[in-house]
Structure 1
């Protein structure tokens, strides 16, 4: 089954995309999955109602993401794609570039405000590991970021983003994939039970 056959939502409708994420574990969820003993906290966070619709930082990300993708030559993606092994595990990579055969290159874009960094944070490494798990067609993911000072790219960078290419064989990807999966399976089981309970309450 190709990744195009595993799309839960094409992302064109924001409400439909959010509804599709309601009962799955996504990359933003796995960014937090550090401790097996904290799975109940992760569940409460997932179940919590949220009226969050964005802030200055998310708006900045939306502003800079198209430029980062164009700079890297990777088409944008809005689709929520589930793993071929578990429909409850899914991710929305920022970009997807078809390569030879069935291989793909992904893209993950970040805006860094007032910070100079040399690559992904630990939470972002978890997100990258999750994208490799959900989209095994990725042979690599381009991690692209802009370093912003007062809302614009640092002058020293001459208007250029920075990037590194991460492969699925990277030691951090292998290590974090092994750490995340047991926690994610536990969390997904509890999430499904909670959603089922919600449905039963609504039906009663």
Structure 2
């Protein structure tokens, strides 16, 4: 079992600035415009800038246990998992106004758990991974930030050793067919995309020489 805590403060941090600018002021050639648009058409322009700084802090608990205290075949069972809380933020600029937003791709809560069964002949694992909402982009058109909703994903894998050199495997990813939902603005939550990628089942074999 392990327990850890972390804190980091950065005096300078690359963040983004988003502004609405007429296309004619950008310096790009007019030939890039689509039909019906002209130099006065206003676009959202996002660029990286050196921000004033950022910070991140959190705590993590992780544990692993083989159930070798159980009788017979049950002694081959085991479990492992971790829970992480992380809080990080930086300033993001919109038309010169600074907003304090979470760091991109950072979920406050992440939870992973695996139940496994291992023997020299065969074995299997079932895993679950949860993450709370996280920011994916800066936004625009008056939307402050772009976010993804929380998700829970289930995976599983199993193997069988035919010989000491030949192993057969089957793996299933995203068995719950989790929907990926992205929305604009942390408060208004305007729906942007709702995607289902489907389950993925693969079969394979490995040969060791």
TM-score, normalised relative to structure 1? 0.26
More helix by share: 1
More strand by share: 2
Q: Select the structure with the greater relative contact order (CA < 8 A; seq sep ≥ 6).
A: 1
TM-score, normalised relative to structure 2? 0.26
- Larger Cα Rg: Structure 1 or Structure 2? 2
